[in-house]
Chains A and B, each alone.
Chain A
Amino acid sequence: MNAKFDDGAVGLTAVVSVQGGLDATNAALFEAHCKKRLASLAQKSLVIDLRAANFLSSAGLRSILILGKHVKAAGGRLAICGLQGVVRETFVISGFLDLFPVAETLEQAAGLAGGGPPPPGAATPPGHR
């Protein structure tokens, strides 16, 4: 699966945009890329921009899970931006929508990741009843 990872930032929040698909062949690479990005910016929180992603396998999901755990351990938060088509479907089916805050725009996502109160309509945190 061919994919391109682009670095960006909104304010102080690191952003990594995925173009193409995330699967078993590049999930580890994506994970390492994001960790490196966070380290280079000396930031805790991360926004994964999936607006240009067109495929997400279970390995891709797992890399997001690991990144979430990594960010959380550092005291930051992970937010997802822009779920489209099959990627959104994958998020829905696997229940990941409930695991990470998801926003439509980078600014909203950065807001969610920044530790502020989630805007109305954002995903319910896991375990909430």
Chain B
Amino acid sequence: MWRRCLEAFRPTLAFKLGLLVLASTGLIFLVAFGYSNRVARRLLLQAVEENTRNLARSTASRIESVLRAVEPLPQWLARNLGNGSLTVPEMIRQLQEELNVSPCIYGSAIAFAPGPDPGSKRPEAPYVYRGSGGFQYVNLAEGDYHYDTWEWYLLPREMGRPVWTEPFFDEGGGDTLMCTYCVPFFRQADGKRTFAGVVTADIQLEQLARMVSAIKLYQSGYAFLLAQNGQFISHPNPEWVFKESIFSLAEETGSQPWRAIGRAMVQGKEGFVKTQAPGSAVDSWVYHVPVAGGWSVGVIFPEAEILAGLRAMNRTVYWIGILGFGLLLAVVVTVSLGITRPIRVLARQTHEIALGNLELAVPPVRSRDEVGDLSHSFENMRLALREYVANLATTTAAKERIESELKIAQTIQRSFLPKRFPPFPDHTEFDIHADLHPAKQVGGDLYDFFLLDGHTLFFLVGDVSGKGVPAALFMAVTKTLMKGVAEQQLSPAEVLAKVNLELAIDNEEMMFVTLWCGALDLRTGELRHTNAGHLPPLLLRGAGEAQWVELPKGPVLGVVEEAVYGTQSIVLRPMDTLLLYTDGVNEAFNTRQEQFGEGRLEAFAQAEAGSSPKELVERLFGAVQTFAGGAEQSDDITVLALRFRGWPGAAAAPGRKPANAQETAAGNGPLPGKEN
């Protein structure tokens, strides 16, 4: 079904053009869009990476600067303590000064190493910190606070150098989350350098956490701070701070990337990694930089947020593309319809014209391009064709008129010839029959018979040369002349001589007639006949043999003005039959280009000797037609048969003795008749 629909669908030129233009434009647009999107994304990521790096580094350096700012004071104090001893109030004053000088120090302590003897009284360990109502003083050597078990004391003692502790909650001391910078101090005794105590300076982690958590990136990006062991020092989720480490988190979520990120951060590496935010499936980017002291700052933000701008731009570009595409479609359709309009109109009009409506003008095209040329040529062709058809119609009409006139001429010509048989019902002395089968073209055959007086029958068969109207006219003239002259009671030879003269005068066209004529005396059977170039008749004796009638010499009528003709005489016995014809009989061709010929004619006559004139005529036509087969009849065919029956009163009243002698109209020597 769809295939048939597909076959029925014939895309127009405009459609094809539009499709092609839109497809190529769409392709170009897609490629350009894709490329620019990729490049923009890369550039954006580069810019974001740089921003984030700067942010992470500046955060790290701010943290570092806080830490560095803490370090000099305890170092100075430790150096002083190593050189001499201070009273407790002096130390407290020193510590208070220290806090005064350095606002980022939360608290500071001096802890002396206890005596070597176990159980000996611990020395003073003054600790000054920022309390709710100003500086607070605590002696860490009192109460349950066994400072000599805390990391901040043990680490520097063991390592012999200043150390930052891991974050811890200083319970019983500052009672807050802190990191402590601890500097050991030593005394020289007996030339030996012995550990004498530790000076500390605390920073409150809350302060650092505030600094880190103040960082906001895009909508939901944030920073976090990791301790050396991967523990969160700062994170927007307060539940994780000091409770979770990046590794425990990675373990919980089974996130391999986060484990790798944690490792890299703990190892103090810097990096920009794409992964999923912890505890969610949002694609995010993480930038991490190390902070002095083994810490690490990470900045994390969802990818969608940095790409939001790009997405928005893409949407805009997409809509611009759609609108542009629509606009282009409209333009292409308009333009291609405009271009192809003349072609479409031309196609529609020419289709009409091709159906035969030549009156339909091809619409004028003003453009001077190929379409204009085509229209112009087509219009010229239409006009030429219309003229040609009009001419053809005129010619055809003229031809039809001529043909109809020829038909009329043929009818008139045929109406000249006697067609009623028997023509003289009250004359039993003879029996005559004749017929003429015209060829397709009007020919010039003729026959005629008439009684000159009560006992003389004049009859003739002739053939005008050529065909068509001239032949028909010449035939009509000949027949009229023949009858007119014959009635003057002249001998046949004299008749021919007179008619010949009439026809030959001013015969520019060299038309001529072959003609045989005879006058039969019905009382005696004497036939006086003459010939002007016509074919010899056949004489059928009773029911016996057929023989050619010998003819007097004489040229065709109408050529030689002074021509002479001879009259010859034969006597017909009762039941003798004379068969006359034109060359349409013996020159009839069959499809093998063979002629009917005199041989076949003679054989026919032999076989049909006993037949009546009517039968003879009809059967000869039949024989010729059978012989010709399908071959077209090229010439008129005329056959005339005359049977002499004898004078009814011949036995009782013998008529004039048949004339044996020959008359000559023009003085030719006598020619013997066949019979005589």
Contacts and interface: CB of A to CB of B under 8 A. Distances in A.
A129 B532 CA distance: 17
17 contacts: A24-B466, A24-B467, A24-B635, A55-B587, A59-B466, A61-B556, A62-B465, A62-B466, A62-B511, A65-B510, A65-B512, A93-B551, A95-B532, A95-B556, A96-B555, A98-B553, A126-B563
B560 A99 contact: yes
Nearest to B589: A1
B467 A129 contact: no
B533 A127 contact: no
Given A58-B466, A66-B510, A93 B560 contact: no
Contacts of B534: 93
Contacts of B563: 95, 126-127
A55 B667 CA distance: 33
Closest 4 CB pairs of A and B: A95-B555, A94-B533, A58-B465, A62-B465
A69 B555 CA distance: 16
B583 interface: yes
A59 B465 contact: yes
Contacts of A105: none
Interface in A57-71: 57-59, 61-62, 65-66, 69
Interface string B546-560: 000001011110011
B634 to A, nearest CB: 7
A127 B561 CA distance: 8
B463 interface: yes
Contacts of A93: 514, 533-536, 551
Given A24-B467, A58-B464, A129-B667, 13 more contacts: A23-B634, A57-B583, A61-B512, A93-B514, A93-B551, A94-B555, A95-B532, A96-B555, A98-B553, A99-B555, A99-B559, A127-B560, A127-B562
A95 B554 contact: yes
Nearest to A62: B465
Interface in A93-124: 93-96, 98-99
A94 B634 contact: no
Interface of A: 23-24, 55, 57-59, 61-62, 65-66, 69, 93-96, 98-99, 126-127, 129
A116 to B, nearest CB: 23
Nearest to A64: B510
Interface in B456-470: 463-467
Interface residues of B, number: 32
B14 interface: no
Contacts of B532: 95
B583 A65 contact: no
Contacts of B535: 93
B111 interface: no
B465 A126 contact: no
A57 B551 CA distance: 20
B564 interface: yes
A26 to B, nearest CB: 12
Contacts of A126: 555, 560, 562-563
Contacts, number: 70
Contact of B510 (A23, A24, A69, A95): A69
Interface string B523-541: 0000000001111100000
Contacts of A58: 463-466, 512, 514, 583
Nearest to A2: B593
A96 B536 CA distance: 16
A100 to B, nearest CB: 11
A45 B556 CA distance: 24
Contacts of A66: 509-510
A7 B559 CA distance: 27
Interface-centre pick from A58, A98, A99, A129 (highest chain B CB count, 10 A): A58
Nearest to A23: B634
Interface-centre pick from A62, A126, A129 (highest chain B CB count, 10 A): A62
A96 B563 CA distance: 12
Nearest to A86: B595
A99 to B, nearest CB: 6
A94 B553 CA distance: 9
Contacts of B560: 98-99, 126-127
Contacts of B533: 93-96
Interface in B503-519: 509-512, 514
A23 B593 CA distance: 13
A98 B667 CA distance: 17
Contacts of B510: 62, 65-66, 69
A129 B556 contact: no
A94 B556 contact: yes
B505 to A, nearest CB: 14
Interface in B285-336: none
Nearest to A27: B466
A128 B587 CA distance: 32
A127 B463 CA distance: 23
A54 to B, nearest CB: 10
A57 B555 contact: no
A111 B511 CA distance: 29
A111 B129 CA distance: 167
A62 B509 CA distance: 9
A126 B563 CA distance: 7
Contacts of B554: 95
Contacts of A23: 634
Contact of B465 (A55, A61, A129): A61
